[in-house]
Structure 1
Amino acid sequence: MTGALGGAVKRSAPPRWRRVLRLWHRWFGLGAAVWLLLLAVTGSAIVFYEELDRALNPDWRSIPVAAAPRTPAADRAVEAAARAVPGFSPRYIDLPDKPGETIVMLGEIDAPDGKGGPAQVFADPRDGQVLGWRRNDVVSFDRRHLMDTLYGLHVDLKLGPAMTWFLGLVGLLWAIDHIAAIILAIPSVKAWRSAFRIQGRGLNLRRVFDLHRAPGLWLAPVTLVVAVTGTVLAWPDDSREAVRLVAPVSERLHEHYPSKGPPPAPIGVDRAVAIATGHTRAAADSVLVVARKGVYGVRTFDDRDLDHLGRLWTYVAMADGRIVGQRHDNGQGAGDGFFAWQYPLHSGQALGLTGRLLVLASGLATILLCVTGVVLWARRRPKPRRS
């Protein structure tokens, strides 16, 4: 454009705060692109962890529906696991929720040679026979380990608590970046509609920019929830301390029980499940074996559950079968309720299949944002002058 005097009309420079936001968004995006890409790829896959792992390992994860027992043989499964995997002791036993599913036990292998570690054992609910097992501390992309590897990479890249903390920091900064991204994406109230459109042709700069901006705006509410909940799940203790500043937060009951170790002759998982389900009159979801406290934490389904997991805990004494406490994950107040929502929202389970599909879409959109953001930066960089 030219003005009345024939000179070029220059665009006014953006305000300083907008330039600051642009710098923040650019350099955060470039610095976090690799980490967000890894989280998005692995997170998109594990949205359907159970279904995919069952499809890859049907001999471990399923039995004929018609042959499914009314009561799974959990004690026999624990005994068979100790024989099949020497040194294995379960800390968590996931019972079949539907006919045709198997018992899944998570625990530790206590090996005298120091080669122990976390393991997962699958057992037939009819007789407890071990169908297969795998180590949880290996990185392998064969069908036996693929989904478990992706899950571990999503949590901490298989590198331990320090990396979990770092990924929580990435999540926090990503949540903050949502504010800058939305402000930059909508330069004015009048132009808000264009920010949601994808224009241009082929892979020209305009189209790449719109592919970076529009999907991010479409799914910004979902990705913001994923970022915040991911931070809370990665920083459970710090998050609790922060929430306690505004609302009381209670812990699971077994954290307050005295440490006394397991009794010489515990009542067993099967009896603990029978006692808890008889008390709650609801089906059992899983059992937490809290040996150091001498209790079984039996989780049963309840009308207050926020996702597909049983969230009502009934604590049964290992020594004599007494019910020593009961608590729902929702807790009693706003602080407890906040934490109860974190996993259901992060996984999408709070809204069932619709929620999981939204989380999957947000993961795919994040992959697109990472790729197009790097492409935009590379194509907009000033080219070096030739001498």
Structure 2
Amino acid sequence: MLIWHRWFGLGASLWLLLLALTGSAITFYDELDTWLNPDLRTTGQSTPGAAIPVERAIGQAQRVLPGFQPWMIDLPNAPGQTLWMLGRQDAGGHLRSIQLFADPADGRVLGWREQGRPALDRRHLMDVLYGLHVDLMLGPVATWLFGLVSLLWLLDHVAAALLSVPRLGAWRDAFRLAGRPRSGRRRLDRHRAPGMWLLLPTFALSLTGVTLAWPEASRDAVRLLSPVSERLDHSLPEVAGATRAIDADRAIALARERMPGARVDSLRILPHVGAYAVRTFDARDVDDQGRLWTYLAMDDGRVLGQRHDRGSSGGDLFFVWQYALHSGKGFGLAGRIVVFIAGLATALLCVTGVWLWWRRRRAAAPGRASGLAEAPTPS
């Protein structure tokens, strides 16, 4: 276990450091992005629950960006927030992902930015940090690599805990900073104690890192123990050349008629199955996202199905909590603060672990004076 922990730390510390620092930053993605881009993210005119001209906003977006096709529209959840569209623009055969922001009062376009653009200006900084955290902005191969790092990190939690507490009777020592300042024991404790203080949050981050990076493989594994259901649009038949006879505003109105008083979170446009997916908030939600999906046909507005992410099985319950735990949003602001601190602590563990290894390697080098060698201590 000592050999495993040492070589895992040396091999994965750079990746974990990147994941930890970017993860801590995007824990407060909306707040930081709003601070950097108040002209895109805020307006003094919006009122949640009022009729928002979504279709007018789509039309104005397409006039500003010819060839733009939104696939997700996030409605404001609080006064002062803007309408946020995610979509793609076909600019002369060149497809690019777009984030567009509109005034929910009249659909007026406030601005837009290209998603995934590698720029560190205020418009793109938070988007770049998010992309680095998910896949290094390189695509599925990097996402798979991060899933592997998360899986090995998950296994390393077991090794680290057993190395830190070799005897149950001395478990308190693993949480203390002992030894003289600048001594080998103090350096060890600076590495060991923070890891033990935040062992449960970082264990949760490593587990959810696996399930979010490897969703299909994770679902296949959980299905060995409990059924896991999928979103309904995955089972709807493909529709060639679907037209939006029912517009977005009508789809939202029909969803509200089915659930009087329900607050709409977002709308997805799914032309490949000829449907809208309206997400509404529900008492079963585990975070700040509406988890009740209502699917309506684009041609006549009929309800194709309805499903809450909570589902009806233990497997569904497990997966609905994955993002809520990874982001900390399942426990509100307190949960996000814990995730933020756990990310910083993980970065600290990467640095102190490599520093410990380097100090001991230097102390063990042949020809060094015996008085400079440090006594070996558990890692």
TM-score normalised by structure 1 residue count: 0.91
Deviations 1:227-255 (A, max 9, x none): 00110000011111111111111111111
The equivalent position to 2:357 in structure 1, one of 377, 380, 384, is: 377
| 1:317-336 equivalence runs, <5 A | 317-336=297-316
Query: Quick one: which amino acid aligns to residue 365 of structure 1?
Result: A
1:69/1:126 contact within 8 Å kept: no
Deviation at 1:354?
1.0
Larger Rg: 1
Deviation at 1:299?
0.1
2:243/2:271 contact within 8 Å kept: no
Deviations 1:291-340 (A, max 9, x none): 11110000000000000000000011111111111000011111111111
Query: Quick one: which amino acid aligns to residue 277 of structure 2?
Result: G
Find the counterpart in structure 1 of residue 320 from structure 2: 340
2:46/2:104 contact within 8 Å kept: no
Distance 2:244 2:10 in 1: 58
Deviation at 1:111?
2.6
1:68/1:125 contact within 8 Å kept: no
Deviation at 1:139?
1.5
Deviation at 1:94?
0.5
Query: Over the residues paired in the alignment, what is the CA RMSD in angstroms?
Result: 1.5
| 1:1-387 equivalence runs, <5 A | 21-65=1-45, 70-114=50-94, 116-261=95-240, 263-281=242-260, 282-381=262-361, 382-385=364-367
**Structure 1 residues 327 and 193: CA distance shift in structure 2, 3 A:** same
**SS state of the match for residue 168, structure 2?**
coil
**SS state of the match for residue 180, structure 1?**
helix
Distance 2:306 2:47 in 1: 33
**SS state of the match for residue 36, structure 1?**
helix
Deviation at 1:110?
1.8
Aligned pair count? 365
Query: Quick one: which amino acid aligns to residue 338 of structure 1?
Result: F
1:262/1:318 contact within 8 Å kept: no
Deviations 1:246-290 (A, max 9, x none): 111111111111111454342111111111122112010001111
Distance 1:265 1:146 in 2: 35
Deviation at 1:109?
1.6
2:47/2:78 contact within 8 Å kept: no
2:45/2:105 contact within 8 Å kept: no
Distance 2:279 2:47 in 1: 24
1:167/1:234 contact within 8 Å kept: yes
Unaligned 5+ residue runs, structure 1? 1-20
Identity of aligned residues (%): 55
Distance 1:237 1:173 in 2: 18
Query: Quick one: which amino acid aligns to residue 345 of structure 2?
Result: A
Distance 2:138 2:29 in 1: 21
